[in-house]
Structures are given as structure tokens and as C-alpha cells.
Structure 1
Amino acid sequence: MIPVVLASQSPARRQILTAAGIDPQIIVSEVDERAIEAGFTGSVGDLTTALSEAKARAVIDRIRRCPPPELTGNGTVVVIAGDSLLEHAGQAIGKPGTAERTRAVWSEIAGQWTQLHTGHTVAVLTDADDRDASTETSAAGLSAIRSRRSTTSVLIGSPSPEELEAYIATEEPFQVAGALTIDGYGGAFVDRLDGDHLTVLGLSLPVVRELVTDMGLFWPDLWSPKG
């Protein structure tokens, strides 16, 4: 079994991996997302990829500085990071944070088609004994790192004003991209998806598996032993 680190505190991302047989160790990146967003000039989709890579690299640095006991002595460790943003009318809609901002977001997206982008970054770390110290990358413990984005179209429903206020009262939309999540109260307010529903939840397993495979690893080796 290859240990997996999830560079995210998202319960949904953890649940996706757990349901797929992977029991990740959680290490939160603590990346300043707003600072990255402020200086970014690319598309909304590309921003999610940039954010996921920044999170992965931050966690890699933390592992290098102070390796958790659970990760020592393993020849290989996989780090998985993700970031999601909803795009509407060319603008990124992240976590609204407040009731007022949630109302503003819903006034824009209700009844509209939107795009949910999730950026994924997967990195492979190796122990010192398995690295070639002649190169800077391998000497740092980073054997490989790759990123990829997936996008799903989302048709947002049109809740009544009373329904929206009840949803806001749950505080669920405050801390999720686009002010709603399909795996909670907000699922009733999404009319249609065109694409991978796991992308909307925050981590596309097909994309992560492709990245892992592209770096020469066997996906089932990430599965945790049963029992």
C-alpha cells in the first residue's frame, strides 16, 4: 500500500477518497488563496489548477520540514490536492462566507447554467534512499508532480425566496464554492449536471487515477487494506 496525503480539509474530498478505498492522512496546506487569486491573470479554470498545485507544494514543503511518523519509512508517498470554483458569466464564484454574499451570488446564478471547475494536482514523493541526489528535484524528495482540470456544467435551480432563506440559515453555502453543494441541503436546488458529478463534489476520481497512472503508479496500490 502507498500512503496518501490529502492536502485539503474538505470533508467531501476525504469522503470521495475513502469511498474509493483510500484512507488519506489530512495535512492542510494553509495557502493564502486570496493572494494567489489577486495576482492571477488566466482563466477561472486555470486558476483552480494553480491553486491546487500551490496547495500540493505547500504540503510537500511541510512534509519535508517535519515528516509525520506515519509517512516515514515508506518508499513512496502520494500527495493529492484539489481546488474548485464556480464560473458564471466569466467570473469566479468562490466561497461566499456570509449570508449577504450568498444572497448576492444566488441572485446571479439562479436558473442559469454555470461551470464548476476543479483543479487537481498529484505529487509523488520518495525517501532519500530511493532518490538520485544528482538532481535538484529528486534531492528535494519530489519525484513527480502533475496537474489537470475537469469541468462540469451545472444548471442551478430557482428556489423560492423562503427556500433560499432557509438554505442560508443552515450556513452550508458559506464555505463551499458557488454557494451550494450537491451532497447536502443544496442538492435539491441543482436541476441538472452535464459531466462528472465528482468534479462538482471537489475531486474527480477518474482524473486523479489518470494522474497517478501517468506517473507510473498502480492505482490499486493506493487502496487501504481491509480490516
Structure 2
Amino acid sequence: MTRLLLASGSPSRLRILREAGIEPLIAVPDVDEDALEAAHPDADVRTLVTLLAEAKARAVVDRLSGDAEDGANGDSVELETGARDLVVVACDSVLELDGRPVGKPHTAERTRTVWQRMAGTSPVLWSAHWVGDLTRDEPRTSSPWRVRDHRLAAGETLVHLATPTADELEDYIATEEPFEVAGALTIDGLGGAFVTGIEGDHHNVIGLSLPLVRGLLADMGVRWTALWNRIPA
């Protein structure tokens, strides 16, 4: 069985995969997203989110292949000893408002500023996906992994937003939910009440587009259903 390794610590992405019949392995990439964004101040949002997804993928793949410097990118990734084939999926999401990126606000003040700008508008949520097909020669040893093939693509979803009242916004900020999500926005949590509609794949807004990943895997000759490992009896 081919296993899927999710290169992300996002609970939402993990939940998407589990609900789709996949119990993934997990490796959290160590990437300074703010530094990468600062290094590309003129990048358009699609380019930026693609760079972020690729950086996360490379951080984890380097650990798998043994190319990471000692102490870099966290500890080694522990995998099943019998695995020979592996699919790695790394994602990043950025909201585009007025042509500019809106990342994770981190603080109450920045969350308030973001929502004051985007309330009642229809921004675009971009989620980039790096999908790699990995293999190794000796599945029952510590043989390093190598990338056999990979694909990189970004999905976009138009998100129509309501205008929260001042009290509603302060209550939402007090939960701290929007602090560490792209664009201070969720549709699968407390913020869902402020989303009046979307145009596109709703999974893309949550952070991982199942149709997009399936298509990228198919392009590499990997069957999506071969990754299923938690189908109810």
C-alpha cells in the first residue's frame, strides 16, 4: 500500500484527508513563512503561495532524503519500516484582497484591520499544492527516499463575505481562531457564519483541494483510491 505523508501541521487538512478515507503520516515542515514572504515583496499572490508550498515540501523531502543539514528542519521523519512508496503532499494558503496577499494575522490588532478591509467583499483564497511521488530501494532499512516525480499547482476559490457587526467581530477576535489561518478566515469553524457563499472547491478554502490533488496524482500515474486506508467496513 502506498502511504500519504502530509507535510503540514494543519488540523483542517488532516481532517479533510481522514474524511476522504486517508489516515496520513504527518511531518510538520520548519519554514519561516513571514521571512519568505518578505523576501518576495513584488510577487503576485499565486506566485507567493506556490513558493510557500514548495518550500514546505522541500523542507520535508530533504529530511526524508537525508539532504537536510544536521539540526535543520526539525527531527527526522519516522515512517513505517515496510514502506517502499510514498506520496508527499504539502500545501499553503493565502487570501488575495485587492491584488495583495493577506496571510495569517497572528494578533488581535492585525485581525481587526484585515476584517475591517475585507468585510462585505469577495476575496480570492489561493491554496497551492506540491505533490510528490517518492520511492526507496530498501523498504525495510533506513534507505533514503528519492523523488520519482512531482507536480505543483494552485487552486483558487472566490469567497463572498458578510459584514460582521462590531460586537460580532470583537467576539470572533476574542476566540483567537482567526489568528493562525490564512486571511483571518475560516469556513469550517466559528468564522463560517460570516461566509455567505463561495465559487469553487470548498476544500480549497479549508486548505487542501481533494480534486486538485487527485488530478496531480493521476498525472503521475498514482491512483487516488490506492491511498485509501480508513474506509469503514
TM-based fold match above 0.5: yes
How far did 1:155 drift? 1.2
Quote the residue 1:134 is aligned against. none
Change (3 A) 1:67 1:12: closer
Quote the residue 2:65 is aligned against. 64
How far did 1:35 drift? 2.0
Report the TM-score when normalising by structure 1: 0.91
C-alpha separation in 1, matches of 2:136 and 2:177: 40
- Which runs of structure 2 are paired with 1:5-154 in the superposition (5 Å)? 5-40=5-40, 41-65=42-66, 66-70=76-80, 72-128=81-137, 141-154=146-159
Report the TM-score when normalising by structure 2: 0.89
SS at match of 2:28: coil
SS at match of 1:102: helix
SS at match of 2:13: helix
Change (3 A) 1:146 1:160: same
Gaps spanning 5+ residues in structure 1: where?
Answer: 131-138
- Which runs of structure 2 are paired with 1:177-216 in the superposition (5 Å)? 177-216=182-221
C-alpha separation in 2, matches of 1:31 and 1:128: 29
C-alpha separation in 2, matches of 1:126 and 1:162: 53
Q: Which residue type is aligned with residue 115 of structure 1?
A: V
How far did 1:216 drift? 0.8
How far did 1:63 drift? 1.6
C-alpha separation in 1, matches of 2:114 and 2:45: 16
Deviations 1:101-127 (A, max 9, x none): 111001100001100000001011111
Gaps spanning 5+ residues in structure 2: where?
Answer: 67-75
How far did 1:83 drift? 0.3
Q: How many residues align?
A: 218
SS at match of 1:113: coil
Q: How big is the alpha-carbon RMSD for the aligned residues of Structure 1 and Structure 2?
A: 1.6
SS at match of 2:123: strand
How far did 1:67 drift? 5.0
SS at match of 2:130: strand
How far did 1:218 drift? 1.1
Q: Which runs of 4+ in 1 moved over 6 A?
A: none
C-alpha separation in 1, matches of 2:210 and 2:51: 19
Q: Which residue type is aligned with residue 24 of structure 1?
A: P
Structure having the larger proportion of residues in helix: 1
Quote the residue 2:72 is aligned against. none
Name the % identity: 50
